[in-house]
Amino acid sequence: MEKAGLSVAVEPFQFQSFVLESALLRVENEKAEILRLGFNPYAGGDSRTGELAFVESTDDMPAIMKSELDDKIVVTTEAANFYRLALFKKPRAVVFLSRQEFDRLKAGGTRSGEISFRGKLIRTNSANIAGTLAPGPGAGREVILSAHFDSWKGPGANDNASGVGVLLELARHFRSLKTLPPFSMRFVAFGAEELGMLGAKAYLERHQSDLQNCDLLFNIDTVGGNKGIFAETRSSNVPEWLRAAVSEAGKDLGLEITAANGMGSDHRVFMQAGVVATNIAISGAKTHSPEDLPESVSADSLEKAARIVAAVVEKAGRVAK
């Protein structure tokens, strides 16, 4: 960021997290090892009981929306998108089992079960890195571009070095313009996104007064794939001018952008706080995997993402506030 000509601040924060060591699902006299568990570990006790809901696919949102999952233990064979599931439903917990164990317990027909788990609380340090571009005319308004820099269960080339790479290139791009945008720009790399968007939450808490002047936060997460381009524009939190700006950017660049809702990344923290925010992602590359390597990232997709974000930011400068 400094090489791109930004004024840079490191904003450390500390957080407490729960490290799960082991977990079992008990169904009458049967038990199965839980491969992955989504739940609130701070609610007290070392077990959770409830009615079971066996779900084949947590990505089949039409089926999920029709299902009664609130306050139930959702049992699945997929590494569920917990953020997205929790956005539309309120399960007590989400349990990820092997296909063999899933079929065995489902065939038993039992309707209730108990999760027992063991883990520990730890305190950890992280930081957000915020680079500011000196504003052009209209100082006092702000646009934020962001990407998280941590990874989970893999090297993180796509998730999310791809987003950080685009963020830095956009910083160079806007710094190089002869006429700066009519607002200040901040380029923020968030820490601890994978642990629950904690960097975004720390930034929100620290910059509440600044964010009152934020016209747009555009987040960039996993843009290294070679398939579909997705932007969060279907949410009711997204204003019409932003929907139109994203759509027009796609048309101008000859790119098809799919309108999405429920994307789980740092932008959601700001949307929920009333900040105009969206997110871009490009599917088709590995995440949360040892295979999330640089060779899986498409340079062409990084350029597409950068051009879309730049076009939307330019359109944001022309929106009457």
How far is the C-alpha of 9 from the C-alpha of 300, rounded, in Å? 31
Residue 137 clears pLDDT 60, i.e. is over it: no
Say if CB 287 and CB 147 are below 8 A apart.
no
H/E segment holding residue 153: none
Span 224-244, mean pLDDT? 94
Residue 59 clears pLDDT 80, i.e. is over it: no
Helix (H, G, I), strand (E, B) or coil at 285: coil
Say if CB 142 and CB 134 are below 8 A apart.
no
**pLDDT given for residue 81 in this prediction:** 61
User: Which of 71-85, 221-235, 247-261 has the lowest average pLDDT?
Assistant: 71-85
How would residue 40 be classed by pLDDT, with cut points 50, 70 and 90?
A: confident
Residue 241 clears pLDDT 50, i.e. is over it: yes
Residue 320 clears pLDDT 50, i.e. is over it: no
Task: Compute the Cα dihedral for 181, 184, 189, 194 and give only its sign.
Answer: negative
* Domain covering 134-316: architecture: 3-Layer(aba) Sandwich (3.40)
Residue 170 clears pLDDT 80, i.e. is over it: yes
How far is the C-alpha of 227 from the C-alpha of 243, rounded, in Å? 21
Q: Is 203 exposed, middle or buried, given 0-12, 13-18 or 19+ CB atoms closer than 10 A? A: buried
Residue 257 clears pLDDT 80, i.e. is over it: yes
**pLDDT given for residue 82 in this prediction:** 66
Say if CB 190 and CB 149 are below 8 A apart.
yes
How would residue 304 be classed by pLDDT, with cut points 50, 70 and 90?
A: very high
**pLDDT given for residue 147 in this prediction:** 98
How would residue 52 be classed by pLDDT, with cut points 50, 70 and 90?
A: very high
Percentage of the residues of the chain whose pLDDT score is greater than 70: 94
Best CA proximity match to 70, nearest among 53, 84, 56: 53
**Residue for token pair 């509440």:** 208
CATH topology for the 18-119 domain: Glucose Oxidase; domain 1 (3.50.30)
Global pTM value: 0.84
Residues in CB range of 131: below 8 A, 6 or more apart: 1, 2, 4, 6, 7, 8, 9, 171, 186, 187, 188
Best CA proximity match to 188, nearest among 280, 267, 276, 80: 267
Domain residues of the chain, as ranges? Answer: 18-119, 134-316
